[in-house]
């Protein structure tokens, strides 16, 4: 019985780690897509759009996403 508990615990930890990694990867993809999809819109104020872009850039920084220099 004890070995079953240990192996089920290892299995659970392994599954949790896998999904955490997938979740982080998905989160990074969403942030990068926001960056690439960002466009200035004449119907919004410049200040609000700059703030929106700053939030996206902060998320990129926070998630330690490395952007190529050409971007």
Report if residue 70 sits inside a domain: no
Instruction: Flag whether pLDDT at 53 surpasses 90.
Output: yes
12-31 pLDDT, tens digit each: 777 777 767 777 788 889 99
For residue 62, the model assigns a pLDDT of: 94
Mean pLDDT value across residues 8-12: 75
How many CA within 13 A on the CB side of residue 60?
Answer: 15
Number of domains into which the chain is organized: 1
| 67, part of any domain | no
Domain that holds residue 44: 2-62
pLDDT of 9 higher than 80? no
Q: In whole angstroms, what is the distance from residue 67 CA to residue 34 CA?
A: 13
Crossing angle of the two packed helices 2-37 and 46-62, in degrees rounded to 10 = 150
């Amino acid at each position: 019985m004890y070995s079953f508990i240990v192996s089920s615990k290892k299995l659970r930890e392994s599954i949790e780690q896998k999904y955490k990694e997938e979740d982080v990867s998905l989160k990074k993809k969403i942030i990068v897509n926001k960056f690439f999809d960002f466009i200035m819109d004449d119907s919004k104020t410049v200040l609000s759009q700059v703030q929106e872009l700053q939030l996206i850039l902060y998320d990129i920084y926070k998630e330690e996403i490395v952007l190529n220099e050409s971007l």
